[in-house]
Amino acid sequence: MWLAHALTLVRLPLLAALWLADDAWQVALAVGAAALSDLLDGPVARWAKRVTPPPHPGWWAIGGWLDPLVDKVFVAGALGALWWRAHAPLWELGLVATREVLLVPLLGAYLLQRRAHRPLSAEMIGKVTTAAQLCTVATIAVAPSGLAGPLGAAACAGLGVATVVHYVRARAPGARQTL
């Protein structure tokens, strides 16, 4: 299981590399490596769960909160780097960050009243939204004046709203547990 957690945590040094990158292609490479680690950490965790007994009962639950947390830190840091280094338009970055802007306050409220039988976990719609965000960040870095950045940002905003609606509905009182 440590390998799945390591795949998740590798996004943090990749974020530092993104801030230190000399050109747009290095930014795109760091973002691509982060996307690959996000793609692989879940399947590796599921594989490890099948072949390795857990060292203690809560061990498997770590990935359920660690992966989304690291995703949010990476996306926020990448957007900050694009604004700081590439002077990307704030409106475009704001659209990419729609999910985080809407979800983080709701997540804080959820954690304050969390029930043990309603665990947090990453879901496919969240993974798709993160992938769209990472692709859009790389696109804005490589082609800042193109049309692909604004279109990707708009897609991120739509996916972000859909993700928030999904998570709120799935965790509303009386909702059928789908996790």
Contact 144, 34 (CB under 8 A): no
DSSP letter at 21?
A: -
The pLDDT of residue 46 is above 90: no
The pLDDT of residue 64 is above 80: no
The pLDDT of residue 54 is above 70: no
Mark residue 174 as left, alpha or beta (left: phi above 0; alpha: psi -120 to 50; beta: remaining).
left
pLDDT band at 56 (very low <50, low <70, confident <90, very high): low
The pLDDT of residue 178 is above 60: no
Whole-prediction pTM value?
Answer: 0.81
Q: What is the pLDDT of residue 146?
A: 83
Classify residue 22 as exposed, middle or buried by CB count within 10 Å of its CB (0-12, 13-18, 19+). Answer: exposed
- The pLDDT tens digits of the residues spanning 95-124 come to 999 999 998 888 777 777 765 555 566 688
Q: In the chain, what are the domains?
A: 2-171 (1.20.120)
- Average pLDDT on 89-94 reads 94
